[in-house]
Structure formats: C-alpha cells, structure tokens
Amino acid sequence: MPEAWTLVSGEAEGEVLTLDEPLSFWGGLDPATGRIVDVHHPQRGEQVTDKVLVMPSGRGSSSSSSVLAEAIRAGTAPAAIVLREPDPILALGAIVARELYGRAMPVAVADALPGSGARVSVSASAAGARIERLSP
C-alpha cells in the first residue's frame, strides 16, 4: 500500500473491514460488544473488534471520542482505523485511551484504502504511516 500519514501512532495488524459510509461512534457503535448498531448504517451488525477499520471519514458527534476510548479500554475496539479524510474526534479518542489506559490504537489517513477481507499491518509514527498488505 502507499505511504499514509499518522494521526495517532501505534502498530497493529488485522483483517480489513471497509465501511461504505462514515460511522459516528456515538450511537453507531456499541462499545460493550464492538458491533455497529446504527440502524441506518449499511454495515449494521458487523463486528469491528480487532479489525483494521477502513472508512471515508468519521461522522458526527464529538462524543465519538469517548465511545472509542471506552471500546479501546474494553478490548472491543478496532485494531486500527484508516481514514480517507482526517478526523480529530477519532484521533482524540485513541489518544485519550493511550494516556488513560496505556493501550495504543493507530489512526492513519491514506488516499488508497485497502478492501475488506485483506490482512494488513499498520505502522504509524511521527515519521509517517505505512499500511502493508500481508495476505489477499
């Protein structure tokens, strides 16, 4: 995959889950289960836990940062998030979880986004981010 840039540093590996539309974590993700619960989202019912969540952007409420931080604390969050457009709200949730709970989840921005089902690694640092396909 092409180089990407880092919003939140960290290392992760997992199966890609590509969302067709942006997701608001506030009301859209159940942090207790890691499932998408937004009744209007095309991927409602999908499990995000330990996936590399790929989506065009975040959506909605500033409270999404607290939902993401809680999912990271509970162990139900994605392994990483890769966005086409930067989202400071999601980045804040990952930063808060790292500071409060000592759990890192990388958040990166890339133009070329991997499709669902591929297994990738995400390496994000101050020098930039790299998304590498590990298997089809």
Class of domain 3-135: alpha beta
Contact 120, 133 (CB under 8 A): yes
The single-letter DSSP state of residue 47 is B
Q: Which of 24, 61, 63, 116 is catalytic?
A: 61
Query: pTM of the full predicted structure?
Result: 0.94
For residues 10 and 12, what is the distance between their CA atoms, to the nearest angstrom?
7
Q: Is 61 a catalytic residue?
A: yes
Q: Where are the domains of the chain?
A: 3-135
Question: So what's the pLDDT on residue 2?
Answer: 53
pLDDT by residue for the chain (136 residues), tens digit each? 557 999 999 999 999 999 999 999 999 999 999 999 999 999 999 999 999 999 999 887 788 999 999 999 999 999 999 999 999 999 999 999 999 999 999 999 998 777 888 999 999 999 999 999 998 7
Residue type, 135: S
As to burial, measured by CB atoms within 10 angstroms (0-12 exposed, 13-18 middle, 19+ buried), residue 93 is buried
- 60, with CB counted inside 10 A (0-12, 13-18, 19+), is middle
Sign of CA dihedral 114, 20, 25, 35: negative
